[in-house]
Amino acid sequence: MTENETINVPTANPAKAKSYERVKLVMSLVSMALNFVIPILFLLLGGSEAIRNLAEGWTGSAPLIVVFYLLIAGAGLQAIEFPFEIFSGFIVEKKYGLSKISIRGWLWDWLKGTMIQTVLNPSY
C-alpha cells in the first residue's frame, strides 16, 4: 500500500450500535426467561409425565425411554425458541447490516449447529 492509498473503514454509528445492543439484550433476556419458565410449566402442567408415558408406549427399555424423552423435550424447546433465534440471529443481523447470508444459508447453519449441539449435549 502506498502513502496515497486510503483504507475505507466504515464509520461507527453510536446510536445504531446502541439500538442493536439493546435489541440483542432484550432477546437474550427473553430467551433466558423462556428457558427458565417453560421447563417449570412443563413439569407443573404434566407435560413431563405425558412424554414419559408416550416414550414408554414405544419401548419398555429404560435407556430408550430416556433417549426418546430427551429428544422429544429438546425438540419441543427448540420449536418454542426457534422464532426468537430467527429474529435475533437473522432478522436483527440483516436489519443492522451485519449479515449478508440468505435465509436459506442461515437455516442451514442453524440446522447444522442444532444437530452438533444435540450430539454433543443431548440433554438440551
For the chain, the structural domain boundaries read 16-120
pTM above 0.75, yes or no: no
Residue 23, all three cell numbers: 435489541
- What is the C-alpha to C-alpha distance for residues 47 and 19, in angstroms, rounded to an integer? 38
Task: Place 49 in a pLDDT band, splitting at 50, 70 and 90.
Answer: very high
- Among 1-15, 30-44, 52-66, 109-123, which stretch is predicted with the lowest mean pLDDT? 1-15
